[in-house]
Amino acid sequence: MSEVRAATEADIPALVDMIAAEAREAEERAVDREVVTAAVTAAFRNPSLARYWVLSEAGALAGAMAAVREWSDWRNAAYWWIQFVYLVPAARGRGLLAHLVDRVKAEACAEGAPELRLYVHRDNARAIHAVHRLGFTPRPYQILAQRLEPAPPPATAELDDDTLWAAFHARTLSHARWNHAAHLRIAWMHLERYSLEEAHLRMRAGIIRLNATHGLVESPARGYHETLTRVWLVLVAEARRLERGTDSRSFLASHVLDRDAPLRFYSRERLFSLEARSICVPPDRAELPA
């Protein structure tokens, strides 16, 4: 017996899981789970941004859908767009997608929407076939886009090593400052003080504590990532061997360690698996530096 209901904030972790799974399946894209969590949470706080529904079977979530509204001055009404839809693999091929669509159609009709619309990647043949069967037909429009560069954040003074180290361990480092560069700098500072193995143990504890201060609840699918922590420590250690730098800032200025560096050694599927998040897994593309 399946049931479609409006999602609640208690469903946010499951929604994030499904959104991440859809991105992997539809476009082979790995999304930033913290960004997605913040986005879904924002929609629950402000439903004008998006609305979510979930499909359950025998008490377990089996799918979800989100819709957004687009105002039309031609129609004096809002089109509804299916912005996200996902069914877990075990729920596919049994007509359950129609239950989600029917629920959203009913609510769109009740609000006077002239059409329910969606867009789908042209290479996603499975999704195209599924929505055609539900009565969606092509429209004579193309989606065109222009990428916008985000405005630079307000200039803030860069923390020196002593201040950054103290803020990390005191858990006073803000979420905004806990970025990729700060991760690398903290790794460099741990390696200045400890062996690779001890640096790994101490960074694990420190990151989990800092995540908790930022309100991030650790789970098998969110929060601390064991394999990435190890990989970055290894890559920083290898770069230090070539050029140590006088402090962490000079070290970063001498080395290019972009976010995608781990993908030289791991496939996306392996690196972003639940197993790699919880334990350190070996690479499947190339050996890490010794």
Q: How far apart are CA 44 and CA 39, in angstroms?
A: 9
What is the model's pTM?
A: 0.55
Question: Which residue carries 């004096």 as its tokens?
Answer: 76
**Superfamily for the 2-133 domain:** Gcn5-related N-acetyltransferase (GNAT) (3.40.630.30)
- pLDDT reported for residue 153: 59
Provide the phi-psi class of 189: left if phi over 0, else alpha when psi is between -120 and 50, else beta. alpha
Integer Rg of the chain from CA: 23
| Percentage, residues of the chain above pLDDT 90 | 79
Domain positions in the chain: 2-133, 161-278
With a cut of 70, list the residues of the chain below it in pLDDT.
151-156
- pLDDT reported for residue 156: 65
- pLDDT reported for residue 42: 92
